[in-house]
Amino acid sequence: MTGSGDVARIDLNADLGELADGGELDRAMLAVVTSTSIAAGGHAGGGEILRRTVGAAVAAGVSIGAHPSYPDRAGFGRTSMADRVDGTVVARFVADQVRAVAEACDEAGVSMRHVKAHGALYGDLAAIDWLAEAFLDGMVAGARRGPLAVLGPGDSVLERTCAARGIPFVTEGFADRAYRTDGSLVPRSRPGALLEDPGEVARQAVRIAMGRPVRTADGEPLVVRAQSVCLHGDTPGSVGLARAVRDALTAAGVQLAPPGAS
């Protein structure tokens, strides 16, 4: 949560460009959110889907970021590869994916603003020091211009590594995912990991934005430190959820703005 005085302000983001037939869905989501992280081929998307999604984001006036992942299209990037890759490999595939989004943005006449990891890579970056260093090396190598911000979980290895390297970091919370008491997300393989009720998702988004505790899957309260709230484009009913969240945030007096907006 950011803002001045008693006014809360938060970014509303969605991960898009992941579905071959998702053009209509992506455009509908882009009418609601303030920033988007676009897949670049590692877990999904890339190529013409990437260029189409960037163009739609530009038309909607939405801030654009790259959404790199482990190179795992078969598993949609949701299986960790931390024990199968080294820092050089990680830096290379992150650079390739970040560069792809940066080049698509250049073609569209806009600048990419942030980078946010996907899936298992996102979770691993919260806890593995060498991986965070390699990820940032790849981001810097792939960016055509900077500086770029990194979206990720607060109180994480990734946040501390960004701070040590002077890289802007935007803390992120999730409106449509259940949390555990330690601040991690309930694994998607567990029942109740994905929140699908619009009212529940909207209430969680408002509580995150206002700095109020959410109820974890363990029944305990948890304050999620966040400057951006994410909705997943592949969640069932994602457009309706996004609209419910935006309406609830607006009704609560929360200002919506992309990261870094003045």
**3-state SS string over 59-98?**
HHCCEEEEECCCCCCCCCCCCCCCCCCCHHHHHHHHHHHH
Note the pLDDT of residue 145.
79
User: The pTM is what?
Assistant: 0.94
Q: Who wins on pLDDT, 4 or 87?
A: 87
Asked whether 223 and 212 are in contact (CB, 8 A), the reply is: yes
Q: How many CB atoms are closer than 10 A to CB 252? A: 15
Side-chain half-sphere of 193: how many Cα atoms within 13 Å?
10
CATH number at residue 189: 3.20.20.370
Domain region containing 195: 9-256
Span 157-175, pLDDT tens digits: 999 999 999 999 999 999 9
- Residue for token digits 């209509």? 24
Per-residue pLDDT averaged across 186-197, rounded? 91
**What mean pLDDT, rounded, does the chain reach?**
94
Encode pLDDT of 208-254 as tens digits: 999 999 999 999 999 999 999 999 877 778 999 999 999 999 999 99
- The set of long-range contacts for 158-166, using a CB threshold of 8 Å and a minimum separation of 24, is 158/125, 158/126, 158/132, 161/129, 161/132, 161/133, 161/136, 162/136, 165/136
Q: Which amino acid is at 212?
A: R
Q: Is residue 4 part of a domain?
A: no
Per the structure, how many domains does the chain have?
A: 1
Q: What is the DSSP letter of 220?
A: -
**Domain assignment of residue 209, yes or no:** yes
Asked if residue 262 is part of any domain, the answer here is: no
> Looking at residue 4, what is its pLDDT?
46
Asked, for residue 164, whether it belongs to a domain, the answer is yes
Mean pLDDT within 59-85: 97
87 within a domain of the structure (yes/no): yes
Q: Is the pLDDT of residue 116 over 60?
A: yes
Determine, yes or no, domain membership for 261.
no
Residue 63 included in any domain: yes
- Does residue 3 lie in a domain region? no
